[in-house]
Chain A
Amino acid sequence: MANSEKNAMEELGISKEYQYGFHDDIEPTFKSRKGLDEEVINQMCDIKGEPDWMRQYRLEAYKIFKQKPMTKWGGDLSQLDFDDIYYYVKASDRSERSWDDVPDDIKKTFDRLGIPEAERKFLAGVGAQYDSEVVYHNIVEELDKIGVVFLDTDTAVKEYPDLVKKYFGTIIPSADNQFAALNSAVWSGGSFVYVPPGVKVEYPLQAYFRINSENMGQFERTLIIADEGSQVHYVEGCTAPTFSSESLHSAVVEIVCMKGSRVRYTTIQNWANNVYNLVTKRAFAYEDAQMEWVDGNLGSKLTMKYPSVYMMEPGARGDILSIAFASKGQHQDAGAKVYHCAPHTTSQITSKSISKDGGRSSYRGWVDVAKGAKGCKSHVVCDALILDKDSRSDTYPVIEIGENDTNIEHEARVSKIGEEQLFYLMSRGLSEEEASTMIVNGFIEPLVKELPMEYAVEMNRLIQLQMEGSVG
């Protein structure tokens, strides 16, 4: 897989150098005032030049948001102040920050990860953007030939209004939850992907390629439509710590997997430790379609994220692989939800969490089998690794079964790094830290091996960093 990926990239004339180059054109700036009301939304629509239907959609969503009470389950949101947040900042404004403002520990981490200079600035919100336009341009041209649309969602609203209108908010309606409502009111950026029937995109579409937009924004909105028999892998996020002065990230990702299609969506999230990361991700999988979420959560103060798959027609399959690393001061409330709405549908949830230095990780999962959905299979595995006595791990599984003819398995294991494992590795010359790191890396291997190669390498290095100084 990694090789064909690489070849495909080479064919497109994409080299690492291009990927990381950057320029710093200064664009006009705009920042809304703090807090949210209809005026802020209208202002945003004006600046974006959005069609009226989207303005109405936003205002409607805002009404719903106002009516929703503060979310009480999951993690502690009591410190989250909706009035103290900028809801619309144009991407180019992020260059206002100076490199000197970036905290030392973040700079140090960039160093240790070997992140190229230009990329660091971008990730820290200092640099303007990558000069990825050339790369992006090549990709879009190539994708164009096979009819694939890969745009930022703002542009898609203008260029593909019919497609967007048809699906936007149908998988995750504004009223779904408080943060879906908020995102629907104030969303900016995110990706829009359409893959025509039978088309297989051979390399992962990376959010990185489409960087000259508000990709790393707080309220991005992604919509992926995989038409019949098509195949696509989308990758978002990065392993480097994503520094943000804003304390709320609330994205919505909607995916439509039509008959016989196959979609994989990979996320590596490593927000700075002041960020509330509250994301709604959901896919509808129709007949014989397969949806896979690969979801890695390392950063943030609190993450609440439960990628879900609704299996709408027979033969649909949903796979969710989720991993969480909770360190000091962090709560990773992550998990997965699968809804077997049709007979003979299959799901697999694999959740792995690591808690360290007083960090807390929770698995929150939901397996639902509708009445009459005969012959469904679901297999859930939750593995938690707790590295010290101050750390915590919980599981909150819910299983709702409305049909007798089903096969549901749930396994949960909590383990500590064993003395025997440590002794064994140390007897071969590894220090205690090297040994623990190796055990943790082995623990998350099922996720890492699903990642594109460059992500896998960074992921291992990141775990190594997280483990440093954790022993003795």
Chain B
Amino acid sequence: MSKDLTIRDLHISVQGKPIIKGLNLSVQQGEIHALMGPNGSGKSTLAKGLMGHPLYEVDSGEVIFDGIDVLELEPNERAKLGLFLAFQYPTAIPGVSLANFLRLAVSAVRGKGANGSEKDGLIPMREFRRELREKMQQLGVDDSFARRYLNDGFSGGEMKRAEILQLAMLEPKIAILDETDSGLDIDAVRIVGESISQLIGPDLGVLIITHYPRLLDYIRPQFVHILLDGRVVESGGWELTQVLEAEGYDPIREKHGIAE
């Protein structure tokens, strides 16, 4: 049965300031949703709040994933349930290679320690290496990535590709992509877009958060939502992106009486 992520009347504040103000949204495994909104509309707050960042205070509402209220769970427990966040600004972890980090993360998420794998609780090295190599080839990521320190000295494009590689390895049920196209030039957007489109299938639900429609050319969403002032104010299909492209956010703001 496919899993779904359901957000009901969610309120999130940052340092006492309300940012998300009664947001409703539902994403099913296998569906692709785009959440579009201008700067300051609350996109990144929603992304971090859903993953459980300690500085993002959930004031009220529910986030139900696969029948479980995740709001009381630590970020790692949410990851183990099958939630994934591709960061807008991934953090560098100097001295830790991408491969070493991913082996621990993949083992943690798959619960490898429990069912008869290696005694140190990690997915066997050989198995891991093979899988990593396959995924890197599939996504056209250079071999040297595995040995490099996680996000340390990565270019913007490299960081985003590393995020997508992590997505591919961790095989989440629902992935939130927070402005994965930001800071990338057109070629980089294409590469990242094509990578994501390769991972899309019936087992993956995607919530793409962006304020540019460019990335969406590669990953056609079935559902498009407009986020303004902490709420989803419009939902529709692909045509909504066309409206935005032509007219911008102003007509929608006006329609809903939201000041810029």
Contacts and interface: CB of A to CB of B under 8 A. Distances in A.
Interface of A: 418-421, 423-432, 434-435, 438-439, 441-446
28 contacts: A419-B54, A421-B91, A423-B48, A423-B51, A423-B53, A423-B75, A424-B93, A425-B93, A426-B75, A426-B76, A427-B75, A427-B76, A427-B84, A428-B76, A428-B79, A429-B105, A430-B76, A430-B104, A430-B105, A430-B108, A431-B108, A432-B74, A432-B76, A438-B93, A442-B93, A443-B94, A445-B96, A446-B95
Interface of A is mostly: helix
Interface in B235-259: none
A442 B95 contact: yes
B95 A428 contact: no
B105 A428 contact: yes
Contacts of B90: 424
A421 B152 CA distance: 12
Nearest to B79: A429
Contacts of B93: 421, 424-425, 438-439, 442
B76 A443 contact: no
A429 B79 CA distance: 5
Interface in B49-66: 51-55
A443 B95 contact: yes
Contact of A438 (B54, B78, B101, B106): B101
Interface residues of B, number: 30
Interface string B82-96: 001101001101111
A428 B90 CA distance: 12
A431 B80 CA distance: 11
Nearest to B51: A427
A439 B95 CA distance: 8
B206 interface: no
B170 A428 contact: yes
Nearest to A443: B95
Contacts of B101: 425, 428, 438
Contacts of A434: 104, 108
Contacts of A441: 95-96
B109 interface: yes
A444 B95 contact: yes
B210 interface: no
Contacts of B84: 427
A438 B166 CA distance: 17
Given A445-B95, A446-B95, A429 B87 contact: no
B105 A419 contact: no
B91 A438 contact: no
Contacts of A435: 76
Nearest to B166: A428
Contacts of B106: 429
B54 A427 contact: no
Contacts of B74: 426, 431-432
B218 interface: no
B223 interface: no
Interface centre among A420, A426, A427, A432 (most CB of B within 10 A): A427
A424 B52 CA distance: 11
B75 A438 contact: no
Given A428-B79, A431-B74, A439-B96, 17 more contacts: A418-B91, A423-B75, A426-B74, A426-B75, A427-B76, A427-B85, A427-B87, A428-B76, A428-B109, A429-B79, A429-B105, A430-B108, A438-B101, A438-B104, A441-B96, A442-B93, A445-B95
Interface centre among B55, B85, B91, B106 (most CB of A within 10 A): B91
A430 B105 CA distance: 6
